[in-house]
Amino acid sequence: MGKTLTEIAQTLKDTDKKVQLIYAFNGVGKTRLSCEFKELIAPKTEGEEEEEKPIKVLYYNAFTEDLFYWDNDLDEDTNRKLIIHPNSFTDWIFKDQGQESNVITHFQHYTNDKLTPSFNEDFNEITFSLERGDDNKIDNIKISKGEESCLIWCVFFSLIKLVVDTLNESEPANRDTNQFDELEYIFIDDPISSLDENHLIELAVNIAELIKSSQSKVKFIITTHNPLFYNVLYNELELKKKNKKGNECCYLLNKDDDGTYKLDGKLGDSNKSFSYHLHLMQILQDAVDNNSIEKYHFMLLRNLYEKTANFLDYPQWSDLLPDDKKTYYNRIIQFTSHSTLSNEAIPEPTVPEKNTLKLLFKHLVDTNYYTEEQNGTV
């Protein structure tokens, strides 16, 4: 029988684990779960000011970005700036702890070292400039939504790192601040999905290192829709040693047709613990059935081959390809290289290329490779 998100949040609260890692497909309800969890741990009390309440949970999700909004200077269209709503967290990060340079460094590392945020004296406005190759720069530009999300994550990461370092001082009287003395949870929901794979891996490693450095009683809950991010955290946090049948700390969140939810404990990383491959297969099958194959379907096909090869311990995913492997391999690589997925435009798949995808997808489904995987533990 399914549960409400409030009941799922209660389950997470009742679990005495330092780290809980949750995978869910987009649209299932990860962000709503984080909000339900926050309400469970620190419910709003009528008449009580938010600043007066002890901080019991810090959370990063899509709503965290609401602390930041754009002033686009609609009259002159020249002085564009990102405004920070007044709040104690960013005041502490920038005014008290002087983390401006660290935030800028992290932001440029994940985005572009030529793209520079500049804070005003009160740290409630941010403008952006872009350096050009001729020693000139373009001022007051508006950055992309992905870059904006990255900046906000960098601010939040600076916050939680400061909090972890502060609480690692066991004696409250010796801490720089006591506003986090009652902190119980840090909830991180899908940070920066727009990053490329290399930076996403680095981000997961940084989060894992921060969690491992925490010596206080604070617990961490992380949700994601990205299997790579899940896998890196699973391995870096060595959750295989802690994730035991009947006492899991890793889960798959699903939503049933009746609107209720299930939180299933899962063993192993995403390649062996939950049916992400089934989700890929359904997307590809729909594209084949509707004759709506696009460039990104080649990436999904490659992902499916990689996961099947990983599960069956084949050295290379190309080993699963049918005869004339090199030709098929090159065809997939053309559509899935990082350059073609980012800046360099390539033509839409031709009819023969679409037929190639259909053939390779059918091959994977019809051969014993997929039969072997279904008989395994997923």
In tens digits, what is the pLDDT along the chain, a chain of 378 residues?
789 999 999 999 999 899 999 988 778 899 999 999 999 998 877 665 655 678 999 999 877 888 899 998 777 767 899 999 988 889 999 999 999 999 999 999 999 999 999 999 999 999 999 998 777 889 999 999 889 999 999 999 999 999 999 999 999 999 989 999 999 999 999 887 678 777 888 999 999 999 999 999 999 999 998 888 888 899 899 998 888 877 889 998 988 878 899 998 887 776 665 556 776 788 888 889 988 888 778 877 887 888 777 767 778 888 888 877 777 777 776 655 533 333 344 457 888 888 888 988 988 888 755 544 445 443
Nearest by Cα to 270 from 18, 29, 11, 22 = 22
- Beta-carbon count within 10 A of 192 CB: 21
Cα angle value 246/247/249 (rounded, 5°): 125
Q: What is the pLDDT, as a whole number, of residue 272?
A: 60
Pair of tokens at residue 317: 């995913």
Hey, what amino acid is at 314?
Y
What separation in angstroms does the CA of 334 have from each of 114, 137, 299, 361, 373? 30, 35, 10, 17, 27
pLDDT value of position 163: 96
- Model confidence, pTM: 0.73
pLDDT at 344: 40
**Domains in the chain with CATH codes:** 1-56+182-274 (3.40.50), 276-374 (no CATH)
Neighbours of 373 (CB within 10 A): 18
- pLDDT for the residue 274: 54
At 339 the pLDDT is 36
Structure confidence at residue 343 (pLDDT): 35
Give residues with Cβ within 8 angstroms of 59, minimum separation 6.
34, 37, 38, 185, 186, 187, 188, 189
**Could you give the 3-state DSSP secondary structure of residue 284?**
helix
* Beta bridge mates, 186: 58, 220
CB 186 within 8 A of CB 18: no
Smallest CA-to-CA distance from 150 within 193, 96, 101, 115 is with 193
Residue of 270, 253, 221 whose CA lies nearest to 2? 253
